[in-house]
Amino acid sequence: MDKFMETAIDEARTGINAGHGGPFGCVIVRDGKIVGRGHNEVVKRHDPTCHGEVMAIRDACKNLGTHDLKGCELYTTAEPCPMCAGAIMWANIKKVYYGCNINDTDRIGFRDKVFYEAPEDISEELHREECLEVFAEYQALRHKKNY
């Protein structure tokens, strides 16, 4: 078995045995070394965003001192949900390896499938002009500070 996937599986077991959340473990690898690890902590932290992939991304970013994980690969016990897939893309991770797919997670009671379907539209634009002012302020500061 791939050693990185084995470590992701160990992360999942650590989390479920501690009662932190579902069986989702993850590691992030750069240049053949683990730079971040995490497991599902939704129950522990009372936070629905604490999926294994997100926790591993946070750990890798902290360890590397950057928000850009370009050149990294991610190993996870289950196919990333849309939230995690978005986080993976924002982090610039180049490759994802996963164990179980969304049908497998569905069979053990997780509702990932619903997030791949067209969601009910729950959003509405509000106070766009005022928000555009904040965007303009950001642009001006960004040009001054070069970030």
Longest dimension (CA), the chain: 54
What single-letter DSSP state applies at residue 24?
A: -
Query: Is residue 53 annotated as a catalytic residue, yes or no?
Result: yes
The token pair that represents 116 in the structure block: 């791949």
Burial of 69-86, coded b for 16+ CB within 10 Å and e otherwise, reads: beebbbbbbbbbbeebee
Catalytic residue among 6, 41, 53, 117: 53
By annotation, the residues acting in catalysis are: 53
